[in-house]
Chains A and B, each alone.
Chain A
Amino acid sequence: MSEKSKRISRLLSDQNSRFSYIRAKLGILVPSQIRALRLKSDMSRQMDLAKAVGMGQSRISMIENPGVANVTLDTLARIAAVFKVGLMVKFVRFSEMLQWENEFSQDQFNVVRLEEDREFLVDSSANSQPVQALGWTIPHTLVSGSENSPYAARYAARTPDVEVNWRGYVRSGVQRAISERERSALPNYLTAVSQYGQQPSVSSLPKVLTA
């Protein structure tokens, strides 16, 4: 019986063997991800991360120590929140876990931060194409009276220029750069607005923008 067969047999029959196998994988990959995120952020020192998370530096050092697997989900969520990334904990097949370990590289591990996560920030209920009109500043006269955006209309009534997304929701404080394509589509949008006499409907807007 080969060493591998023996190992498989133990994993199949012994819960403790499975537990230690899983823990060993997590103990390497979780600390390494945290280290990678930290090194690629503007908090390259453990001390800076510790301050942001509200922990001591020694605790961060401990969390980044290979083999540490007793970090709570709460702590991981706090760290994820500091780095502005999401966190997934899911149960998977053993083969998937091994594949994850084999393919993981601390150097190449990178997660898009929330502010750059366009897929998340753009309203997912968009008709078909991602319009990504967040950050457009539209004169309040074009927004007010819109049936789609009563809140935007109320807000616009008090504010000369409001930031709206293409459904008319106010995203106060969110400033997004718009692409050249979006910029060039803006006159079409405004023309459409003047033709319709109000903000175009949700379904017509993508067509207007890509016209």
Chain B
Amino acid sequence: MQYHTKVILFRPVNPGQRWTFWDYCFGESNLFDDWYQNLSEEARDTFDGLLKNLSKTANHLDWGIKRFLEGKYKQQRIWEIGFIADGRQNRILGIFAGEKQVVLLMGCYHKQRVYTPHNALDTAYDRAKTFQAGKATLYERKIKTDL
């Protein structure tokens, strides 16, 4: 696994360019991947399929983003996108970080107004701040085109 301490987020844009997704890591730990690895096989397949689809959808307004977080989270422009797997509403919290670049901060479950883990939004907020401060590391998430 190769970690990047600093990622160049501003690349020249071309119309056919796909979105790139980066896992939020801290030190040597890929915190986003920890969540991913704990998902069921079906949830991982659904998540992989979702990222594959999003990477090819140029306008993020067509992604079906649930919402941008309000309140104190608004400053970090954290958004939330969902998918259903195993009969549960999964949520991914992320931020845009330059042209066609996305940082996946964390994943969680959501039911009615309750997030699991319960401090998911605060954690995402802290991670976004850490990233903005240049203290986080990122790892590129490969889009799966195979099993």
Contacts and interface: CB of A to CB of B under 8 A. Distances in A.
Interface of A: 4, 7-8, 10-11, 17, 20-21, 23-25, 27-29, 31-32, 35, 39, 64-68, 98, 101-102, 104-107
B84 A20 contact: no
Interface string B32-46: 000000001110011
Contacts of A31: 64
A64 B40 contact: no
B99 to A, nearest CB: 17
Contact of A101 (B40, B52, B58, B82): B52
A21 B41 CA distance: 8
Interface in B40-63: 40-42, 45-46, 48-50, 52-53, 56-59, 62
Contacts of A105: 56-57
Contact of A8 (B53, B83, B145, B147): B147
Given A17-B41, A20-B42, A66-B84, A106 B145 contact: no
A173 to B, nearest CB: 36
B146 A24 contact: no
Contacts of A27: 46, 49, 83-85
Contacts of B58: 107
Interface residues of B, number: 24
Contacts of B48: 24
Given A25-B45, A66-B64, 4 more contacts: A8-B147, A24-B46, A66-B83, A106-B57
A66 B50 contact: yes
Interface string B88-111: 001000000000000000000000
A7 B41 CA distance: 10
Query: Which 6 A-B residue pairings sit nearest by Cβ, starting from the closest?
Result: A67-B84, A24-B45, A20-B42, A28-B49, A66-B83, A67-B83
26 contacts: A7-B147, A8-B147, A10-B41, A20-B41, A20-B42, A21-B45, A24-B46, A24-B85, A27-B83, A28-B50, A35-B64, A39-B62, A64-B64, A65-B82, A65-B83, A66-B46, A66-B53, A66-B83, A66-B84, A67-B50, A67-B84, A98-B146, A105-B56, A106-B56, A106-B57, A107-B59
A28 B46 contact: yes
A10 B42 CA distance: 13
A104 B53 CA distance: 8
B56 A101 contact: no
Contact of A28 (B53, B59, B82, B146): B53
